Amino acid sequence: MSSYRAAVAVGPLVAASFSAVLVLSGTAGAQDEGPASGKGGKAVDKAPAGVELTTLLPEKISVDNGSEKTSITATVKNGGIKDSGRIRLLVVGFDGLVVKNVEGCSAIPEKNLPAGSNSGFACPIGNLAAGKSASYTVQATYDLGKTGKICLPVQTGDGKKTFWQQGPVPFGTDNPSPDAPATPLLLGTDNEPAGPGAEELPRTGPADAVLPLGAAGAALCAAGAAGLWWSRRRRTDTGSG
């Protein structure tokens, strides 16, 4: 499957405040998700005092072997004792994992995607109250002939700081099921596709390799030893901060 590039013009993002836990309705595949995990997550820029932002991904997902479609729940949590202030979540796909849609979010233009990624969405959360969380249903495809990774940075609303970043963390299996209706994938596992050429599959390296940010304060995703840098600040949320 050829790489997909998001080329949709993005309008202004509308900030939304969450005063309670938000769980968006899932689609096919979401019911197969295991317990949520923060594997591959790192704090980056220091969050305001009393604010503790993290993200969670399911420990397992299921990919339809015919359509290559899957559904992933991405969750942002504020485990602190103070409200977060205006924040946003980015959902970015790498290699065989292509993010097709995130409900309530806007596609990131191709020119603003991090190097090496194939797709991404920006989700304006607004102010996340202390002890609350916000969850998003991520619709994606997964080419089981490749590795596949996802990255979840949590930023200020203007993108100047990144408080937390999970990934790029791989989903995969070392026991592919090409003849089954669906293939279960585990978080933090490099994919080993079935068939010839599997031994030539490039490895992703440590799933939790996240490098510190520079003065620009842009989000940084790292895959193995190669740092992937947002080359310019996103202004897709002009007016919503």
Take residue 203 and report the two structure tokens written for it. Answer: 């490895």
What is the pTM assigned to this prediction? Answer: 0.72
> What pLDDT shows up at residue 210?
35
pLDDT band at 175 (very low <50, low <70, confident <90, very high): confident
Residue 101: count other Cβ atoms within 10 Å of its Cβ.
Answer: 14
Mean pLDDT of the chain: 76
pLDDT digits (tens, 9 = 90+) for 120-163: 999 999 999 999 999 999 999 999 999 999 999 999 999 999 99
Residues 6+ apart with CB under 8 A from 235: none
Domains of the chain: 30-192+204-229 (2.60.40.10)
More confident position, 77 or 34: 77
58 has a pLDDT exceeding 50: yes
138 phi and psi angles, rounded to 5 deg: -100, 120
30 has a pLDDT exceeding 70: no
Cβ–Cβ under 8 Å, residues 26 and 142: no
Peptide bond into 168 cis (omega under 30): yes
Take residue 47 and report the two structure tokens written for it. Answer: 């969050």
What CA–CA distance (Å, rounded) separates 220 from 74?
18
> What pLDDT shows up at residue 138?
98
23-37, 39-53, 101-115: the lowest-pLDDT one: 23-37
What CA–CA distance (Å, rounded) separates 124 from 6?
18
The angle formed by the CA atoms of residues 32, 131 and 188, to the nearest 5 degrees, is 35
> What pLDDT shows up at residue 32?
55
What CA–CA distance (Å, rounded) separates 133 from 112?
27
